Structure 1
Amino acid sequence: MTRLDGKLALITGGSTGIGYSTAKSFLDEGASVCITGQHQERLDTATASLGKNTIGRKTDQTNLAEIDSLIEFLGNEFGRVDTVFLNAGITLPCPVESVTEEQFDHLYRTNVKGPFFTLQKLIPLLSGAATVVINASNLAGLGVPNTSAYSATKASLISMTRTFGVELLPKGIRVNAVAPGPIATPSMSKLGMSEEELQGLMQMLEGTIPMGRIGTAEEIAKAVLFLATADSSYMVGETITLDGGWSSF
């Protein structure tokens, strides 16, 4: 028997990167998976690639009406959700003096408001032994230039993980988080850099990581799977950092 046999998993931002790799690992462990994303074409491609027992649902988590529609769909189709990976989010590297109000608000709507209200609205559907994993970042605890607004959103998620963990435990819901460091995903190409600049950034990061390399989405997915299953049954409100030792120095 696999660890998620018969379970229904929801993964936000599941069409690429860490979300997609986590969907694969959940499916391998026997789960049925609903992935969300904002781009229908990417969702269709991911759903087809993931194959059987996968559903794609177009959802903008900054829009509460679309979250409501997602919850209604899950309730009507399945009546419950067993495990959740709140993964969807955006990054915006920018010097503090250049961050605009619009950029700041967009970061918080996407990275904080979206996960908060998605989980809030999911509570009636979460089964008595449900698990929730939140995707934060190691930058929440580091002072890295040009990440002030983004890092603040991820620090909020870690704080929410602790509070949700305690508040939802009496309902049988365990909440934990992962905090990845630099990971090779398609999101890296969305930083507005040329290919040469991106390669330079990757080389610079590799030079600062004790393990000497960028992490993979599959490595993060393994940690999410651990937190989503009974293997982590004595963990609540915790955050696992996966950054090759970067935040240890």
Structure 2
Amino acid sequence: MAKYSGKKAVVTGGTHGIGMSVVKALLDGGAEVVLTGLNEKNIEAAREELGPGAHVVRSDASKLAEIEALGKTVADTLGEVDFVFVNVGYVRFGSLGQVTEETYDKMFDTNTKGAFFTAQCLAPLVRDGGSFVFTTSATTGTAFVGTSVGTAMKSAIRAFSKVMASELLPRGIRVNTVSPGFVLTPSMGLVEATEEHRALNMSEGERITPMRRFGTPEEVAAAVLFLGFDATFTTGVDLPVDGGLAQGMEYPHDEIAPH
């Protein structure tokens, strides 16, 4: 029997990158999945690529009416679900003097408010003993220049997920978060980035990540699914998948590296 045979899942932000890798692993394991996207090109590509076990829905996480519509779609399509991966992300870098009210509101509305109300809407549909996983970021607890708003919104998700973990204990529903570092996704975490920005991000990411490389979406997906299905005695935790970035590690100098 396939690993996820008979399981039902929801993946928001599932049409590309980490979300798509989670969706593909679930489908390969026999699960049925409702996944969301916002970019029409990505939505159509996902519909063409994925099999009949995937139900692709357009949904804007910054709008409560669309979150409520998603809940109805999930109820009508899947009924109860075993797993929810809340993964929608909208991030723009900007230093203190560069951040506008519009950017601030868009980031918090999509990421933080969207994540909270998605969980609120879908929690009644999660079977007792099911699980949530939220995407946060390796930047939480750090002070990278230009990431003040992004760090704040992801830190908020980490905070309310721990409270949700406590509140859902009576139903045996586990709530955890995964914190990716630099990952080779199509957007590389940058909204409307130029090729120059992407090249700089790649160079800097490899330089400051202790493992000296970017992670892959599949590596993050493996961590997400571990928390979602395998870590049955684990709730309220954050699992960094960042090559040591947020762990205070340093790549050893040649003179002290083991041989």
Q: In 2, Cα distance between the equivalents of 1:100 and 1:218? A: 34
Deviations 1:74-103 (A, max 9, x none): 112222121000001111100112111111
Distance in 2 between the 1:194 and 1:70 partners? 32
The structure having more radius of gyration, on CA atoms, is: 2
**Where does residue 115 of structure 2 map in the other structure?**
115
What's the secondary structure of 2:84's corresponding residue?
strand
Residue 234 of structure 1 corresponds to which residue in structure 2?
Answer: 233
Q: Is the 8 A contact 1:130 1:173 kept in 2?
A: yes
In 2, the alpha carbon distance for the partners of 1:201 and 1:16 equals 19
Structure 2 spans left out of the alignment, 5+ residues = 249-259
TM-score (norm 2): 0.92
With 199-208 and 153-162 compared, the bigger mean Cα shift is at: 199-208
Please list, as runs of the form range in 1=range in 2, the aligned pairs for 1:139-150 lying within 5 A after superposition: 139-150=139-150
Residue type at the aligned position of 1:183: V
CA 1:221–1:40 in structure 2 vs 1: closer, same or farther (change >3 Å)? same
State the Cα deviation string for residues 125-153 of structure 1 (Å, max 9, x = none).
11112111000001011110000001100
Q: What's the CA shift for 1:71?
A: 0.8
Task: Name whichever structure is richer in helix by fraction.
Answer: 1
Q: 1:189 to 1:134 in 2, by over 3 A?
A: closer
Aligned position for 1:218: 218
Gaps of 5+ in 1: none
Q: Are 1:21 and 2:18 counterparts?
A: no
Shift of 1:247: 1.1
Deviation for aligned residue 1:158: 0.8
Which residue does the alignment assign to 2:40?
Answer: 40
| Preserved contact between residue 6 and residue 31 of structure 2 (Cα < 8 Å) | yes
Q: Distance in 2 between matches of 1:107 and 1:220?
A: 22
Aligned residues: 248
Match of 1:4 in 2: 4
Residues in 2 aligned to 1:193 and 1:57: alpha-carbon distance in whole angstroms = 26
Contact in 1 for aligned 2:180/2:242 (Cα 8 Å): yes
TM-score (norm: length of structure 1): 0.95
**What amino acid is the match of 1:240?**
L
Aligned partner letter, 1:238: V
Q: How far 1:197 sits from its partner (Å)?
A: 3.3
Distance 1:43 1:7 in 2: 23
Counterpart of 2:257?
A: none
| Partner AA of 1:208 in structure 2 | I
Instruction: Please state how far the C-alpha of 1:192 moved relative to its aligned partner.
Output: 3.8
Contact persistence 1:184–1:214 (CA under 8 A): yes
Take 1:66 and 1:197, find their aligned partners in 2: how far apart are those partners? Answer: 32
Contact 1:189 1:198 in 2 (8 A): no
Amino acid at match of 1:95: S
* 1:56 match: 56
AA at the equivalent of 1:164 = M
C-alpha contact 2:182 2:188 (8 A) present in aligned 1: no
Distance of 1:124 and 1:248 partners within structure 2: 36
Identity of matched residues, %: 39
Q: Distance in 2 between matches of 1:135 and 1:21?
A: 14
